[in-house]
Structure 1
Amino acid sequence: MNILQPQKGKLLIAEPAILNDDSFNRSIILLTEHTSTNAIGFIINKPLGYTVNDLIPEIDNDFTIYQGGPVEQDNLYFVHNVPDKIPNSIEVSNGVYWGGNFDSLKQLLDTKEIQADEIRFFLGYTGWSSDQLKDEIATNSWFISENSYSNIFTVDEKKAWKNKLLERGGDYAIWANAPENIQLN
């Protein structure tokens, strides 16, 4: 099996071995930055019970907010595929962009010029120091996958982790069908 290395634009898939970790159990993380000193990403498959309007009342918008990770959970982040509409965006890869001018984004949200399938919002992010991610991959907390989604903003969060395990095959297929709470089995 060809082993992928972590890099910007790749996906980190939580190994079944971390089922007892509340933050990362069954997570899929989009890596938005990977350098020799750090890595940053956002969990793309864990919606929260909040909308943009819940967190920013002056914006009339009901897009779902996702759990981005355990770091800086009081900050709102966003990833999108419309850099022509949101200036100062940073390209992650394959037409996916991180951040940009928030005032422009607010106007787009207010005027309904941006759709839910073009953007995803996150509370917090996931971050690692230089060797921390390598160590976690080496100890089977994560495996790396290509971002094979045609649109990462329409991922079915209920099936995404299971489907990535099934793609991997082998013993992963057994874990893909395990109940979310093993103790209830």
Structure 2
Amino acid sequence: MTEVSSLTGRLLVATPALSDPNFDRAVVLLLDHDEEGSLGVVLNRPTPVGVADILEGWGDLAGAPGVVFQGGPVSLDSALGVAVVPGEEGTPSGIRFRTSRVDPVGFRRVHGAIGLVDLEAPPELLSPALGSLRIFAGYSGWGPGQLETELADGAWYVVESEPGDVSSPDPERLWRAVLRRQRSELAMVATYPDDPSLN
């Protein structure tokens, strides 16, 4: 079996050619990717359901908009918390993220400053450490080799994530924003019309 190069922490950005309606213009943060498969959450699918309506104590910690996001078509009755744990020192770019400090209880680092939050933990334990939090109902999953096949078929662009992607205040525009910031021909894809037949 060939070894899979991990894409954990990167973004899958749906290409205009991707026909699955679950992933139309989706931006997926990969939380796990290895030879056993892949798991991620769609960052740009807000629902009308408030976090406070389903998870007591977590509503005040969720970034705007304070709603639950549909993380994908799998296990819609389960919730995942994804957060950014910022550092305390400023840098020329304005933010420096923890890399060597001990993670707070109830937080498991996935990539850089991004990690998973144990939603069974008391929210007050984590609140001092969290820079932003987003709650997802369900997730996106791929079996062994399935994502690699989709990548080979041109269904996804793979790009670097930024900590701000998790808590984008304007998730409906995240697909275009992520593509626009690329320093390649991908930036042009951001101008692709919603319905090319009207062009």
Q: Shorter-chain-normalised TM-score: which range?
A: 0.7 to 0.9
Which of 105, 119, 125 lines up with 2:133 in the alignment? Answer: 119
The aligned counterpart of 2:17 is 17
Alignment of 1:87-126 (within 5 A): 87-100=105-118, 102-105=120-123, 107=124, 113=127, 118-126=132-140
Residues in 1 aligned to 2:155 and 2:187: alpha-carbon distance in whole angstroms: 13
Contact map agreement 1:71 1:125 (CA 8 A) in 2: yes
Contact 2:28 2:43 in 1 (8 A): yes
Structure 1 runs, 4 residues or longer, greater than 6 Å off: none
SS in 2 for 1:102: coil
Q: Deviations over 1:122-148 (max 9, x none)?
A: 01000111100000000011121111x
Within 5 Å, which residues of 2 pair with 1:126-141? Answer: 126-141=140-155
- Count of aligned residue pairs for this structure pair: 172
User: Is the 8 Å Cα contact of residues 13 and 161 (structure 1) preserved in structure 2?
Assistant: yes
Q: Equivalent residue of 1:152, what SS?
A: helix
Residue identity in the other structure for 2:74: V
Unaligned runs of 5+ in 2: 61-65, 86-101
User: Aligned equivalents of 2:119 and 2:171: distance in 1?
Assistant: 27
* Paired amino acid for 1:54: D
| CA RMSD between the two structures | 2.7
Query: Residues 49 and 181 of structure 1: is their aligned pair in 2 closer, same or farther, counting only changes over 3 Å?
Result: farther
- Match 2:83 to one of 80, 85, 92: 80
Given that 2:113 and 2:163 are in contact with CA atoms closer than 8 Å, whether structure 1 keeps it comes out as no
Contact 1:70 1:126 in 2 (8 A): yes
Identify if the C-alpha distance between structure 1 residues 25 and 146 changes in structure 2 by more than 3 Å, giving closer, same or farther. Answer: same
Indicate how the Cα distance of structure 1 residues 8 and 60 shifts in structure 2: closer, same or farther if over 3 A, else same: closer
User: Quick one: distance in 2 between partners of 1:178 and 1:26?
Assistant: 11
Hey, what does 1:52 align to over in structure 2?
Answer: 51
Counterpart contact for 1:14–1:24, Cα < 8 Å: yes
Task: Answer 1 or 2: which has greater helix percent.
Answer: 1
Show structure 1 runs of 5+ residues with no match.
Answer: none
Asked if structure 2 preserves the Cα contact closer than 8 Å seen for 1:117 and 1:154, the reply is no
For normalisation by structure 2, the TM-score amounts to 0.74
1:151 to 147, 158, 164: 164
Contact 1:39/1:129 (CA < 8 Å) preserved in 2?
A: yes
Rounded to whole Å, the distance in 1 between the matches of 2:53 and 2:72 is 19
Give the one of 58, 61, 65 matched to 2:59: 61
- Which residues of 2 match residues 172-183 of structure 1 at below 5 A? 173=188, 175-182=189-196
